[in-house]
Structure 1
Amino acid sequence: MRYKLVIFDWDGTLMDSEPRIVSAMHNAAVSCQLAPVSAQSVKSIIGMSLPQAVDTLYPSHSMLHAQLIDAYKHHYQSSTIATPLFDGAKTVMQSLKRRGYKIAIATGKGRPGLDRLLSETGLDQYVDLSRSSDETDSKPSPDMLNQLLNEANVCVSQAVMVGDTTIDLKMAQAINMDRIGVSFGVCRAQELLPYHPIVVIDELQQLLEYV
Structure 2
Amino acid sequence: MDELMRTALYEGRAGRDESELTGLSEDDPLFPKLWHNPCWLSFRLNYLALRFNNPVYSLIQQKLGLLRPEFVVLWSLYLSNELTLTEVVRSSGFPKNTLSRAINRLDSLGMIQRELDMTDQRRIAMKLTDKGREAVESVEAIMMKHERTMLECLSPAERLNLSEILTKLAVASEGWPQQLSLDPEPSESEDVTS
TM-score normalised by L of structure 1: 0.30
Higher relative contact order (CA 8 A, sep 6+): 1
More strand by share: 1
TM-score normalised by L of structure 2: 0.32
